Amino acid sequence: MDKCYKSRFLNINPAEKTFLVHRDAYRDPEVFALEQKKVLHKSWIALAHEAEIAKPGDFITRTVVGKDLVLNRDRNGVVRGFYNSCRHRGAAVCRDRGGNSKSFVCPYHGWVYRDDGVLVSTGSPEADAAFPDGFCDGRTTLLSVPNLQQYAGFYFVNFDPDAQSLESFLGGAADCLQMISEHSAVGMEVISGVHEYEINANYKLLCENSYDGYHLSSVHASYVEYLVETMKGSGMELKPVGAARSFGHGHACFEIAIKAGRAVAQWIPSMGEKVREEVEAKREEVIARVGEERGNVICDTHRNMVIFPNSVINDQQSVLVRSIVPTAYNRMMVRAWTLGPIDESDTLREIRLDNMLSFLGPGGFATPDDVAMLELCQRAYEATDVEWNDFSKGFSAEEITREGAEADLYDELQMRAYWLEWDRMMNA
Amino acid sequence: MPEHQRGEQNVQQQNCGLNRPEVEDFLYLEADHLDQWALDEWLGLWSESGELSYQVAPTGEDDPGSLESSSTMFLISDNRYRLEQRIVRMKKNSFHAEYVRSRTRHMYGHVRIIHQDARQAGVQFNASVYRTKGSETVIYPSLVRATLARTPGGLRLVKKRVELDLYCLATMGALTILL
Ligand code: FES
Ligand SMILES: [Fe+2]
């Protein structure tokens, strides 16, 4: 791209090295309605991890991009995704957050669905007799979501019947998920406890923030001071080094080597001498399994990744998945859950959770300050007439066409990759 | 049985002579420090000897009383060091989340002494914390389990564990006040 590019939402000038995004993308309710259709319902959305539905009969209910879903593993081991709505008059057939069940019984008139979604009873033999023949013989089923696929244990849904495969959608981002699955030889599990909180801001603001390296030293000054404090006298230094990387399809991450400690597997003094041996043994196990180079990347670097358009996967103090549910143009619900190796010892599990809580989550030392910034931005979009946001930091026109472009950690390549894809889909 | 509930079963042999009015007086002072944002004074109400624990259990759980922070992701789980660091952070100008501080009102009721031994007592109470930011006010209803120790300096907190009744942290989603 050498020429200027201008759309309703983007204004890119390669000669001037400027990249601007119009604030209507965050503040216009009509844009939000349009992007539900054109972006959110046409992309793969992270839903769950396979560990949540490990056994036949396991089910969970989730809301993603405005759709209430049931995800389960049926008696034959097949993983299924349904809309949580009875085919009779619509009531939710499942009111629990999760559990194990061979069937779903609608509370309204008592229709019974088998775990593969097939209606097997309309409440009683008398009721069955009043329906046409064969009504309960496979003719009526819960409605399945159009597409449900998994990669490296992460389940995604896509509401577009013509969707490309998950793997081709993920492109280069797939390897980051693969790397997470390599934290353990026997697999990962979802740790109990979920952080669910709302933010009064457009969901894209949280995506941008999740891999924004530029804000670390300003917004997280108090967290960085805390980290430095924990390292006092250890001879270790924080020294973050890293890069921002785009993967195509709007996905990108920043990868940063920082001594913040990881249960898989980087020891730092604040974990205590007692566990040093165990963390280092875990590190050797990973390296023996996946090789030295990859093992070092897994153990020493944090990857904050946004899978376009709303799935944030942070591989850092722990693996934290943020499923963002956009609820209005200026509001989102965040559902954050964390993963750890199935075979992790109690000691390491405790360290993992402790280490993560210091940074992440609505009661951590970092996330609340991010939330405050996003809400300040959103408020100004709605209460001022300023039109354009600036994403020019480190912009060079050739990054747009380069596969797997890389940039300085503190640049804004990640967000430009996101906005180019978003703009493309909005104009499609 | 989780460690924080274990004491409830103990047969009382000796106790530290605590009665409810004394506990209530202490808790009202604690609440008052929080509502005044007198953070150092609040920290001063914690026991200086041994390990302490300030926790907020995750929302949306059917049985939060059964959860342990060693195996469940809590909202907050601070030991002494992190609680001190939290206070340090809360006093900084770079504590953006409370740049304009929330006003809070901690209401405590149904205070009960659950058990006591020669040194300390386990108490339980209901709390509703009102938090106002800008033009909005939210309420955090909870059950609080606390351990109070008798020390030469007076009563001191050893543990405070807050189990919220909330399904999620909706309005004012960041938990940047002390519950
Ligand atoms: S709505 Fe489900 S049985 Fe009538
Ligand atoms: Fe941040």
Which CATH number does A172-426 carry?
Answer: 3.90.380.10
Smallest Cβ–Cβ distance between A221 and the set B58, B75, B94 belongs to B94
Residue-level pLDDT at B74: 96
Enumerate the residues of chain A whose CB falls inside 8 A of the CB of residue B60: 97, 194, 196
- pLDDT of A138 > 90? The answer is no
Q: pTM value?
A: 0.93
> Does B130 fall in a domain?
yes
Query: Atom 4 (ligand 1): residue with closest C-alpha?
Result: A109
Contact A135 CB / ligand 1 (< 6 Å): no
> Does B170 fall in a domain?
no
Pocket mutation for ligand 1, best pick of A70, A87, A95, A111 (most atoms within 8 Å of C-beta): A111
Smallest Cβ–Cβ distance between A198 and the set B70, B99, B169 belongs to B169
Tell me the mean pLDDT in the region A358-385.
93
* Phi, psi at A390, each rounded to 5°: -105, 125
Q: Using CB atoms within 10 A of its CB, is residue A18 exposed (0-12), middle (13-18) or buried (19+)? A: middle
Residue-level pLDDT at B60: 92
- Centre of ligand 1 from the C-alpha of residue A104, in Å: 11
Residue-level pLDDT at B5: 54
CA distance A142 to chain B (A): 27
Provide CATH 3.90.380.10 ranges for chain A: 172-426
Q: ipTM of the assembly?
A: 0.90
Degrees to nearest 5, angle at CA B100 with B133 and A366: 95
**How many domains in chain B?**
1
- Centre of ligand 1 from the C-alpha of residue A119, in Å: 11
Tell me the mean pLDDT in the region B36-58.
95
Give, as one character, the DSSP assignment of residue A139. I
Q: What is the pLDDT of residues B101-118, one digit of tens each?
A: 999 999 999 999 999 999
- Nearest CA to A55 out of A73, A80, A78, A76 is that of A73
Q: What is the pLDDT of residues A83-137, one digit of tens each?
A: 999 999 999 999 999 999 999 999 999 999 999 999 999 999 999 999 998 899 8
- pLDDT of B11 > 50? The answer is no
- Centre of ligand 1 from the C-alpha of residue A110, in Å: 6
- pLDDT of A256 > 70? The answer is yes
> Does B98 fall in a domain?
yes
Q: What is the pLDDT of residues A187-245, one digit of tens each?
A: 999 999 999 999 999 999 999 999 998 998 889 887 888 878 777 766 666 667 888 99
Contact B168 A198 (CB under 8 A): yes
Which residues have C-beta within 8 Å of that of residue A184, sequence separation ≥ 6?
Answer: A264, A341, A342, A343, A344
Contact A91 CB / ligand 1 (< 6 Å): yes
Q: At B54, which CATH number?
A: 3.10.450.50
Q: Using CB atoms within 10 A of its CB, is residue A386 exposed (0-12), middle (13-18) or buried (19+)? A: exposed
Contact A109 CB / ligand 1 (< 6 Å): yes
Sheet holding A147-151, edge to edge: A45-49, A154-158, A147-151
- Centre of ligand 2 from the C-alpha of residue A205, in Å: 11
How far apart, in whole angstroms, are the C-alpha atoms of residue B175 and residue A147?
36
Provide CATH 2.102.10.10 ranges for chain A: 45-149
CA distance A223 to chain B (A): 8
Question: Domain limits at B57?
Answer: 12-62+73-164
Residue A123 CA: which ligand is closest?
Answer: 1
- pLDDT of A175 > 80? The answer is yes
Q: What is the pLDDT of residues B136-177, one digit of tens each?
A: 999 999 999 999 999 999 999 999 999 999 999 988 899 999
Tell me the mean pLDDT in the region A360-371.
92
Q: What is the pLDDT of residues A372-412, one digit of tens each?
A: 999 999 999 999 999 999 999 999 888 877 777 888 888 99
Tell me the mean pLDDT in the region A347-353.
93
Smallest Cβ–Cβ distance between A371 and the set B70, B74, B173 belongs to B173
Tell me the mean pLDDT in the region B62-77.
95
Query: Atom 1 (ligand 1): residue with closest C-alpha?
Result: A89
Tell me the mean pLDDT in the region A181-188.
96
Class level of CATH domain A45-149: mainly beta
Q: What is the pLDDT of residues A46-83, one digit of tens each?
A: 999 999 999 999 999 999 999 999 999 999 999 999 99
Residue A119 CA: which ligand is closest?
Answer: 1
- Nearest CA to A403 out of A251, A255, A301 is that of A251
> Does B175 fall in a domain?
no
Residue-level pLDDT at A216: 87
Q: What is the pLDDT of residues A302-339, one digit of tens each?
A: 999 999 999 999 999 899 999 999 999 999 999 999 99
- pLDDT of B2 > 60? The answer is no
How far apart, in whole angstroms, are the C-alpha atoms of residue A350 and residue B73?
9
Instruction: Give the number of the atom of ligand 1 that is nearest the alpha carbon of residue A91.
Output: 1
Percent of chain A with pLDDT over 70: 98
Token output for A210: 């999740």
CA distance B139 to chain A (A): 15
Enumerate the residues of chain B whose CB falls inside 8 A of the CB of residue A346: 70-71
Higher pLDDT, A217 or A292: A292
Most B CBs within 10 A among A95, A96, A196, hence the mutation to make, goes to A196
Please check whether residue A4 is in contact with residue A14, taking contact to mean a CB–CB distance below 8 angstroms: yes
Residue-level pLDDT at B12: 45
Residue A206 CA: which ligand is closest?
Answer: 2
Burial A267-298 (b: 16+ CB within 10 A, else e): bbbbbeeebeebbeebbebbbeebeeebbbeb
Higher pLDDT, A169 or B1: A169
Tell me the mean pLDDT in the region B92-96.
89
> Does B144 fall in a domain?
yes
Smallest Cβ–Cβ distance between B73 and the set A338, A368, A373 belongs to A338
Enumerate the residues of chain B whose CB falls inside 8 A of the CB of residue A349: 70-71
- Report how far apart, in Å, the C-alpha atoms of B21 and of each of A330, B114, B128, B153 are: 47, 14, 19, 18
Tell me the mean pLDDT in the region B57-66.
94
Tokens 């890119």 sit at which residue?
Answer: A12
Enumerate the residues of chain A whose CB falls inside 8 A of the CB of residue B67: 192-193
Residue-level pLDDT at A60: 97
Tell me the mean pLDDT in the region A13-18.
94
Residue-level pLDDT at A39: 98
Ion ligand 2, residue ranges at CB < 5 A: A 370
A153 three-class SS: coil
> Does B88 fall in a domain?
yes
> Does B53 fall in a domain?
yes
CA distance A83 to chain B (A): 22
Instruction: Give the number of the atom of ligand 1 that is nearest the alpha carbon of residue A93.
Output: 2
> Does B1 fall in a domain?
no
Please check whether residue B155 is in contact with residue B44, taking contact to mean a CB–CB distance below 8 angstroms: no
- pLDDT of A344 > 90? The answer is yes
Sign of the alpha-carbon dihedral angle for A293, A228, A351, A187:
negative
Smallest Cβ–Cβ distance between B169 and the set A192, A197, A338 belongs to A197
Residue B96 CA: which ligand is closest?
Answer: 2
- Centre of ligand 1 from the C-alpha of residue A87, in Å: 7
Q: Using CB atoms within 10 A of its CB, is residue A87 exposed (0-12), middle (13-18) or buried (19+)? A: middle
CA distance A266 to chain B (A): 19
